[in-house]
Structure 1
Amino acid sequence: MPRRSLIAFLSLASTLHIAVADAVFNWPDPLLSTLDDALYRPLFSAASTFALNCGPRDNSTIAAQWLRLAYHDAATYDVTTGLGGLDASIAYEYTRPQNPGAGMLESLVDFAVSPNEYVGMADFIAMGAINAVIGCGGPIIPFRGGRVDATEAGPATVPEPQQDLATHTAKFAAQGFNATEMISLIACGHSLGGVRKVDFPLVVTEDVSTGVQTFTPPPTVNQTVGFDNTLVHEYLDGTTQDVLVVGSNITTRSDLRIFSSDNNVTMNQLADLNTFNEVCVDLIGRMINTVPSSVTLTDNIEPFDFKVWNTLLFPQGGSLAFLATLRIIENGLTGTVTMFWASRSDSGSPCPPSGCSVPSFQVSPAESSFLATLKGVPSFNLHSFNASIDLVSSISHFWFEVDNNDGSAPFVVDNNGKNYTIDQDVVLFDPRRSSFTIAGQFIVVGVKDPATDINVTALSTVSGSSPIPMPSNTVLQLKLDTAHPPADGYTFYTAPLPDAVLSNTIHATVNGTAYSEWVPFLSAPGV
């Protein structure tokens, strides 16, 4: 299948020391679909916009809080056991003395409404670190997904400023970073934020009117807070305000001990901005990719072109309504897209050998995230389709033909040659009969007749809340829906949804056969 290349984007530091391939999206893939949306479409991850322009919070910045949260989460890793790392265990650890600050819980709450059954809190904490860096003008850090959330706290291994150099070196070594990398990672992290007196009274001992001593000076009228190597230059030229270097409490001058531990060799190298960016991309990338040895991350996730999204199949008015959207990266062309499908049964099929077809009824623009624009994606076009499928012959798979109307030959989009397959039409989520409004939330599922032995449940993922804002799963038992009588060869089952539901997976056993269907919360019409 012909596939257009993304516009090339050259960052100062976008290459890891170890090359990782880009992930390929094969529909359906709830993990990659969710992560792509969260990374590249602000509609699906409102939190990603919070860190733009180093937005302030708690006399610090949201970006600094997110980057700190990610490190404190990853700091539980142990290279000898392969346990710990960035696994969202910080949700059970943020009240420890080594994790002070309101920003810990606030940051967790920032991400609490984003996970679903397939993507956990840990992936969103990792995304937060990436958005923190670019939101303050720093380089792009590649993202890989698939982290697994912990269910309990990890060991108390976060370095603390009063500890000596040997202890810090040993703790970073346990996390997989040598002494040189320890210096660099701290310089990268401390390019943002500062130390709040309320959290570290033994560190910030002076009378600070703002309550916080920033690692680098606050911005002036003509300057903005940024992710850069200002901290490095100020350290080397003796003008630094980093309280962990020049604070009156000698015991807590941890940055001074660490930065000077190799006679400033590393800090002098980081004085070059290109080197600083390259090193920070590598080390922060390694930090967020530090996961338990039992976890395998995806390849790098770049914006997917020709992404099928928001598919729905349900009975309506004597046929099966099939809704689908093909998301295409904006390329400046006025393309025409046609959707084709093949019948599940040849008997009585109205489709010709080439397949039934329908043009898109609507093309609407969709905003791209700041990260997507940095990668050369100005926006997306959503080509929407509404097909009426014969109830008897049904649908087995679908595909698209794209004509860019620029003189080039039309080409087929068919799930990388595998077709977009509709596995079954026996158990179908019904968005028109369901409700996702403040007036009431309930889910309705249609089960194809005839069926005598039926059990329908839904695994609902629910947003967490304080004191532990971790998502949880609950099983709902769907019962016969008396408000919706049988229609179009389907009988309907329903259950009320819990508050703060994030996604659902329908599970049903019908006449001894198991079926399942994932229902992202936002796939309901009008939501």
Structure 2
Amino acid sequence: MYHSLWLFLRLVSTAQFVLGAAVFNWPDPLLDTLEDQLYLPGISASSELALDCLARDGSTVAAQWLRLAYHDMANHNSTTGTGGMDASILFEFTRPQDIGVGMFESLSDFAFSSNEYVGLADSIAMGAINAVIDCGGPVIPFRGGRIDATVAGPATVPEPQQDLASHIASFKAQGFNQTEMIMLVACGHSLGGVRKVDFPLIVTENVPTGIQTFALTVGFDNTLVHEYLNSTTENVLVVGSNITTRSDLRIFSSDNNVTMQRLASSTTFNTVCADLIGRMIDTVPSSVTLTDVIEPFNYKVTKTFLFPQNGSLTFLASLRIISSRNARTPTITMFWKERTGSFCPPKGCSVGTSDDTVADSSFLAQLKGVPFFDLFSFNASIDLKTSISHFWFEANDNDGSTPFVVDNNGANYTIHQDVVLYDPLRSDTSNPFSVLVVGVKGPGSNPSVTALTTLSGSDIPFTTSKTSVFTLDPSLPPADGYTFYSSSISHIGQLISSNTIHATINGTAYSRWVPSLDIG
């Protein structure tokens, strides 16, 4: 299988180490979500569905994802700074140049990936990266922060019947010169083909599978280039009977094949394609600023909860660490300090792990040298009167080296407030009529508590938002100095992607982000 054959070679030859990578300062919902989707399997469709260049509809999932990404970007205008990777394809996939069963299927693949902070455009971009590596291609750096469009963009996707001048003008508008146009088309067309039912004027012959592929082999490589140069190609956009739609021939030969000769080198092909597809997915409206490249975070705090229980505050937290790949399991201790008063010793209160497990990594993470993650869980009992202001960790590798501190890049992991707390034990998220519960410290003064909930489903638009109001819950008596308010959220056929709980207590505003992994 592709997966097993590529892994060792990829770790040695193509894994990229990027300087200036994004730094995760907890809490950061955008980076938190994107890093999970990139490097944990099962979090996002794009981490698994295209593995081993999985076949679908006579083509591959990867080819469909790569086409979707280019067609989404192709309405960019580098002069005006509009368009680009902005998920406007959601409103465009029925246009003649965008049709194809793979377009809606691919959009559906990413339907449940968005939340309040991460949109469909980022998912489409991640899909392009995974499409390439899942078919044997190079690793492409990922930056996040794309913003989804709410309307269709201009119909500027190049079409096969257009002349060379039109193609050069289209790619120039997107930000690519003529040489880059040749390269990007060769990279993109290393996968996939043309479906007869969608483009009967291009595929004029009967093909048993219903699709005329661009190359005779499956995989992201330069076979297409060699078949073109050796005149053995069956690429319908080069040798098709409809001369008008031989767009690849016009593009590839537009500089007397100089660029295609360069791409005959596998090393050059991979380097060029990684750069150009990376530029393609990073082509965004000028109003959008992308993050730095997101690499696997060495240390990541997740699944944090603070809530009243049995006369104290229960604090749950998990620390995820990239595995050191040695035989020793590190010893991790969590420390914290009080919010008010004095309760902890000078070094801080502390607790050991309540559980430690191994978490699998995605294929992309493995290509970057991360075989798996170590996940350490903590369950601390916090004094109600003094509460908690911040926490940190001390890690001992048990190999004779000096223990080291994990403290949010020197800033500590700060608990900003203990007045409005999401309560996972009193909440019920096990059915389509979820009940969220928050505890409000003290009697309050007509507290106003709402939740902005992001719901993901299979219908367009895939992501919707609703605001719900929390009311005093008579079934939950006050306890440990907290009064409990609840809100019921109906989400039949939808998943709760995230909630942001907002509250105003005695004139002070509070908020708490609750990602999907925290609520069910």
| TM tier relative to shorter chain | over 0.9
Aligned to 1:255: 248
8 Å CA contact 1:13–1:274 kept in 2: the answer is: no
Instruction: Give me the whole-angstrom Cα distance separating, in 1, the residues matched to 2:425 and 2:113.
Output: 24
**How far apart are 1:42 and its partner, in Å?**
0.7
**Matches of 1:442 and 1:109, distance apart in 2:** 28
Who is 1:4 aligned against?
A: none
Aligned equivalent of 1:208 = 207
Amino acid at match of 1:443: L
Out of 333, 338, 349, which is 1:343 matched to?
Answer: 338
Moved more, 401-410 or 436-445: 436-445
Kept in 1: contact 2:432–2:490 (CA 8 A): no
> Structure 2: how far apart are the matches of 1:27 and 1:460?
21
- Contact 1:20–1:299 (Cα < 8 Å) also in 2: no
Aligned partner of 2:7 in structure 1 is none
**Structure 2 CA distance, aligned partners of 1:400 and 1:121?**
35
Aligned-pair Cα RMSD in Å: 1.3
Equivalent pair of 1:13/1:277 in contact (CA under 8 Å) = no
Which residue number corresponds to residue 490 of structure 2? 498
The whole-number CA distance in structure 2 between the counterparts of 1:400 and 1:344 is 18
For residues 23 and 66 of structure 1, what CA distance do their matches in structure 2 show? 25
| 1:401–1:413 Cα contact (<8 Å) kept | yes
Find the counterpart in structure 2 of residue 485 from structure 1: 477
Would the aligned equivalents of 1:75 and 1:157 in 2 still touch at CA under 8 Å? yes
Q: Any gaps of 5 or more consecutive residues in structure 2?
A: 1-9
- What stretches of structure 1 move > 6 A for 4+ residues in a row? none
1:74 is matched with which residue? 73
* 1:464 Cα deviation from its structure 2 partner: 4.1
Deviation at 1:470, TM superposition (A): 3.2
Number of aligned residue pairs: give it: 506
Q: In the aligned structure 1, how far is the partner of 2:353 from the partner of 2:145? A: 33
Structure 2 match to 1:239: 232
Please give the alpha-carbon distance, in whole angstroms, between the structure 1 residues aligned to 2:423 and 2:42. Answer: 23
Q: Return the letter of the residue paired with 1:522.
A: L
Greater Cα offset, 444-453 or 254-263: 444-453
Q: Does 1:281 align with 2:280?
A: no
Q: 2:45 touches 2:110 (CA, 8 Å); kept in 1?
A: no
Q: Kindly provide the amino acid, as one letter, of the partner of residue 118 in structure 2.
A: V
Secondary structure of the 2:137 match is: coil
What is the TM-score with the length of structure 2 in the denominator?
A: 0.95
AA matched with 1:423: H
Segments of 5+ residues of structure 1 without an aligned counterpart are: 1-7, 220-224
Alpha-carbon shift at residue 103 of structure 1 (Å)? 0.9
Question: Aligned runs of 1:151-162 on 2, under 5 Å?
Answer: 151-162=150-161
* 2:455 matched residue in structure 1: 462
> 1:45, CA displacement in angstroms?
1.6
Query: Percent of pairs identical after alignment?
Result: 68
Specify the code of the residue in structure 2 equivalent to 1:494: S
Matches within 5 A, 1:311-326: 311-326=304-319
In 2, the alpha carbon distance for the partners of 1:13 and 1:94 equals: 34
1:220-254 residue CA offsets vs partner (Å, 9 max, x unmatched): xxxxx210000000000000010000000001000
Once the two structures are TM-superposed, the CA of residue 486 in structure 1 deviates from its matched residue by 1.3
Q: CA deviation at 1:288?
A: 0.1
Give yes or no for the alignment of 1:300 onto 2:296: no
Q: How far apart are the structure 1 equivalents of 2:462 and 2:70?
A: 18
User: 1:439 Cα deviation (Å)?
Assistant: 6.3
Change (3 A) 1:489 1:13: closer
Contact kept, 8 Å, 1:508 with 1:516, in 2: the verdict is: yes
Describe the superposition over 1:116-146 as per-residue Cα deviations: whole angstroms up to 9, x where unpaired: 1111111110000000000001110000001
> What is the CA distance between 1:148 and its match in structure 2?
0.6
TM-score (norm: length of structure 1)? 0.94
Q: Which moved more, 1:159-168 or 1:20-29?
A: 20-29
Aligned pairs (5 A) from 1:108-507? 108-217=107-216, 219=217, 225-331=218-324, 332=326, 333-346=328-341, 349-438=342-431, 440-466=433-459, 468-499=460-491, 500=494, 501-507=496-502
**Could you give the per-residue CA deviations for residues 426-448 of structure 1, whole angstroms, max 9, x where no partner exists?**
01111011111126411111111
